[in-house]
A and B are shown apart, each in its own frame.
Chain A
Amino acid sequence: MERKKKEKIMHIPDEIVFSILGRLPPKSLVRFKCIWKSWESFVNQYKYHNQKLIVLTDTSIQSIDFEADEIEAVDLHIPFKGTYRMLAIASCNGLLCISIESEGLVSKFDVFLPPDNVDVFDILGNIKGRLCYDTSQKRPG
C-alpha cells in the first residue's frame, strides 16, 4: 500500500535474483514459480527423475517428490555437505553436478549419482579447474 512513490524500479540483474532464489526454502521456491516465466524455468532446471525437484539452501540440498502422498522436502545426504557453499549447476536424469565454493572461489565440481529411490548421493567423478562451467556467462550487471 505504501508503494505509491513513483520510484524508478531498480532492476536487479538476473544473476543476483537467482542467487537470492537459491537461498529460499523449497516451499517458497515452488510458490514463486508462478511469479515470472524465467523463474519457473530456474526452479525447473533442478528437476530430476521427472517428479523430483532438487532444491538448494545455504545449508542443505533437499529433494521434493511430487508423487509422494505427503509432499515434503527430504534432505539429501551428500558427502562433505555443510563444509562449503554448494551450487547446483545442472541435473539430468538423476545426475547432479554441483560446484563447491570455498573462499568465494569455485574450486571444484563434483558429479553425483543418486541411486534409485535412495536419497544418498555418491561422488561419481570430480573435475578440477576450468572444465564445464563457463563463468563468462555471468554478465556484469
Chain B
Amino acid sequence: MSSSIASSSSSSSSSSKKEKKISLKTSDGEVFEVEEPVAMQLEIVRSFFADNEDVTEQTVMPLPNVSTAAMHGILEYCRAHEEFRRRMPEAAPEEEVRAFEAGYVDRKSNEELKEMILAANYLNISKLLDFLTGVAAKRIENKSVEYVRAFFGVENDFTPEEEANLRREYEWAFEGVDED
C-alpha cells in the first residue's frame, strides 16, 4: 500500500557506487539509514555531525523525540525535496513541489499532522515546519472554537460569562463556520 518514495528498504548490498548513509534511531528503536544529503536537511543531524569530531560513519544518532511513524513522513518529504533539488539545482519546480505537498498532507490525519509538526520542530527542519504550520492553519481556519480546542488539546479557561461576552462582542466572527 505504501509504495511511496519513503520506503526505507536499505538492505546493505550496495555493489554500486557507495552513497554515504547516516544512521538515525527513532524513539521506538528503529534505525533508519538515510542518504547523507537527505539527512542533512535535518538541522539537528547536520549540527550533530558538524560539531562532534569523534562521530564516524558508524555512529547511530538517537532521536528520542521522533517516532518511527513520524520519521517515515519526515523522510518522505525530505527525499522528495532532495530529488527536486537534484533535478533542478537552480530553482525548485514550483508546480511539482506544490502538487507533491498537497498530496503529501491530504493523506494525513490531524493527529499525524501534529506529530509531524512536533518532529519537524525537534529536528529543526524549518522549511517543513513552515509548510506544516501553514497546513494546520488552513485546517482550522474555518472551524468552530470547540473543534480548535480539541485540535490543540486546550481546556477552556474562560468562565461561561466571559466566553459569552466575547462571543457577543465578536458575533460577526462566528458566522459561516464549517461544521465540525
Alpha-carbon gap, A61 to B41, bound state (A): 31
Number of chain A interface residues as a range: 20 to 34
Q: Which residue of B118, B137, B149, B158 is within 8 Å of A20 (Cβ)?
A: B137
Answer yes or no: B154 CB below 8 A from chain A CBs. Answer: yes
Which 7 residue pairs are nearest across A and B when measured between Cβ atoms?
A9-B153, A23-B137, A31-B173, A34-B166, A30-B173, A36-B154, A20-B133
Check B149 against A23 for contact (C-beta < 8 Å). no
List 12 interface pairs A-B (beta carbons < 8 Å), by A numbering. Answer: A10-B111, A10-B114, A12-B153, A23-B133, A24-B140, A30-B173, A31-B173, A34-B162, A34-B163, A35-B154, A36-B149, A40-B166
Alpha-carbon gap, A104 to B141, bound state (A): 24
Min C-beta distance of B89 to chain A, whole Å? 17
Q: Please, which residues of chain A bring their CB within 8 A of the CB of B103?
A: none
Q: Please, which residues of chain A bring their CB within 8 A of the CB of B114?
A: 10, 12
Name A17's closest neighbour in chain B (CB-CB). B152
Answer yes or no: B100 CB below 8 A from chain A CBs. Answer: no
Q: Please, which residues of chain A bring their CB within 8 A of the CB of B129?
A: 16
The B-contacting residues of A in range 1-40, CB under 8 angstroms, are 3, 7, 9-13, 16-17, 19-21, 23-25, 27-28, 30-37, 40
Alpha-carbon gap, A128 to B50, bound state (A): 29
The A-contacting residues of B in range 153-170, CB under 8 angstroms, are 153-158, 162-163, 166-167, 170
Name A105's closest neighbour in chain B (CB-CB). B126
Check B167 against A11 for contact (C-beta < 8 Å). no
Residues of A within 8 A of B (CB): 3, 7, 9-13, 16-17, 19-21, 23-25, 27-28, 30-37, 40, 58, 71, 104, 141
Q: Please, which residues of chain A bring their CB within 8 A of the CB of B158?
A: 34, 37
Knowing that A17-B152, A34-B170, A40-B166 touch, tell me 18 more A-B residue pairs with CB under 8 angstroms: A10-B115, A12-B114, A12-B117, A13-B121, A16-B133, A20-B133, A20-B137, A27-B173, A32-B145, A33-B170, A34-B145, A34-B158, A34-B163, A35-B152, A36-B155, A36-B157, A37-B158, A71-B172
Answer yes or no: B80 CB below 8 A from chain A CBs. Answer: no
Alpha-carbon gap, A9 to B111, bound state (A): 9
Q: Given known contacts A20-B133, A31-B174, A31-B177, is B156 in contact with A104 (CB within 8 Å)?
A: no
Check A24 against B137 for contact (C-beta < 8 Å). yes
Check B140 against A28 for contact (C-beta < 8 Å). yes
Alpha-carbon gap, A141 to B124, bound state (A): 11
Q: Please, which residues of chain A bring their CB within 8 A of the CB of B172?
A: 27, 71
Name B154's closest neighbour in chain A (CB-CB). A36
The A-contacting residues of B in range 100-114, CB under 8 angstroms, are 111, 114
Answer yes or no: B142 CB below 8 A from chain A CBs. Answer: yes
Answer yes or no: B150 CB below 8 A from chain A CBs. Answer: yes
Alpha-carbon gap, A12 to B145, bound state (A): 17
Alpha-carbon gap, A101 to B111, bound state (A): 30
